[in-house]
């Protein structure tokens, strides 16, 4: 795995899966953990988005979204996907890879928009050992397909 990958997930429900993914597949610091804390102490959305892009997504080129039972209801997951899809300064947009966990519920709406357009790539958790590298590479390569990006949906205002 040659690309820096940011992992977005529901912390309370899917932390163990995120930890396993990083431990088993995150060789050479390729799967980075810079997830947002539960709350950012600011009401300034532009500031929060700037933090996500510059402090959390930083040098990543692919964002993995672990899709569990409650992932679609999480504000920060939506904002991380939103920020992943936007170039910022010298940083290009990230490729998107959705991984359906055994507990998968609804797919986050913004991710689903990009699955439907052909920009985002998906796979099942059970296929990690055989498909993860190729799916990350596919998501990375899709970054050149900016015309497929769907990011106009209003950002989530709160968890549900």
What residue spans of 26-107 are helical by DSSP H?
45-51, 75-84
Return the pLDDT at 134: 94
Residue 143: both structure tokens together: 């970054």
pTM tops 0.75 = yes
Looking at per-residue pLDDT, the higher value among 57 and 84 belongs to: 84
Separation of alpha carbons 39 and 123, rounded Å = 29
Q: What is the mean pLDDT of residues 23-32?
A: 73
The 10s digit of each residue's pLDDT in 47-83 is 767 766 666 677 889 999 999 999 999 988 998 999 9
Domain boundaries, the chain: 5-145
Residue 80: both structure tokens together: 């991380």
Taking the domain 5-145, which CATH number applies?
3.40.50
The 10s digit of each residue's pLDDT in 127-138 is 999 999 999 999
Q: Are 67 and 150 in contact (CB under 8 A)?
A: no
Separation of alpha carbons 120 and 142, rounded Å = 8
**Mean pLDDT for all residues in the chain:** 87
Q: What is the mean pLDDT of residues 31-59?
A: 65
38 pLDDT band, cuts 50/70/90, is low
31 pLDDT band, cuts 50/70/90, is confident
> Is residue 105's pLDDT more than 80?
yes
Q: What is the mean pLDDT of residues 97-114?
A: 98
Looking at per-residue pLDDT, the higher value among 110 and 33 belongs to: 110
89 pLDDT band, cuts 50/70/90, is confident
């Amino acid at each position: 795995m040659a690309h820096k990958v940011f992992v977005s997930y529901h912390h309370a429900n899917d932390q163990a899966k995120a930890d396993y993914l990083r431990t088993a597949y995150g060789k050479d610091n390729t799967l980075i953990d810079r997830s947002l804390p539960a709350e950012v102490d600011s009401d300034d959305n532009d500031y929060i988005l700037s933090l996500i892009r510059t402090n959390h997504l930083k040098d990543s080129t692919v964002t993995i979204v672990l899709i569990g039972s409650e992932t679609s209801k999480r504000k920060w997951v939506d904002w991380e996907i939103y920020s992943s899809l936007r170039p910022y300064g010298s940083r290009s947009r990230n490729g998107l890879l959705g991984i359906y966990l055994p507990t998968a519920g609804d797919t986050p709406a913004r991710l689903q928009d990009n699955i439907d357009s052909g920009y985002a790539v998906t796979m099942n958790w059970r296929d990690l050992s055989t498909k993860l590298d190729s799916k990350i590479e596919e998501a990375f390569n899709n970054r050149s397909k900016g015309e497929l990006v769907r990011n106009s949906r209003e950002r989530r205002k709160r968890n549900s």
